[in-house]
A = this chain, B = another copy of it.
């Protein structure tokens, strides 16, 4: 599921992981959500819509992300019922899985220290 903007009602530790490369960003939370939505919807238009992002923005992010990896992560298909869908390549699925694994590993590793820090907050819950 893509990250929703929300007002937190309890203290939360938020984590943002970004893969930086020479000249820019290869992957981050927004691009990971976009890949996930493309995998779910099979469509750049629908993925962009779900993420409240313009089609042009989604397309630019995909182009830049594809260029940052050895192999493209997303392939667009011409024609078809919806005027062309899009799917993740095997590399795309692998990159998305690894990115989500990084997030899980990071949250898991910090659980104990976070509970110590949380107790020092004025309103931890």
Contact partner of A13 among B14, B67, B102, B123, CB < 8 A? B102
Contact partner of A21 among B16, B19, B71, B123, CB < 8 A? B123
Q: Does A68 contact B (CB under 8 A)?
A: yes
Question: Is the pair B19, A16 in contact by a Cβ cutoff of 8 Å?
Answer: no
Question: Is the pair A14, B11 in contact by a Cβ cutoff of 8 Å?
Answer: no
- Binary B-proximity of A74-97 (CB < 8 A = 1, otherwise 0): 000000000000000001001100
Residue of B nearest to A91 (CB): B120
Tally A residues with Cβ within 8 Å of B: 45
Q: Does A22 contact B (CB under 8 A)?
A: yes
- Binary B-proximity of A40-61 (CB < 8 A = 1, otherwise 0): 0000000000000000000000
A19 with B15: in contact, given A113-B105, A120-B69, A122-B68 (CB under 8 Å)? no
Question: Is the pair A70, B121 in contact by a Cβ cutoff of 8 Å?
Answer: yes
CB-contacts of A1-56 with B (<8 A): 7-23, 26-27
Question: Is the pair B105, A69 in contact by a Cβ cutoff of 8 Å?
Answer: no
Question: Is the pair A117, B105 in contact by a Cβ cutoff of 8 Å?
Answer: no
Residue of B nearest to A108 (CB): B109
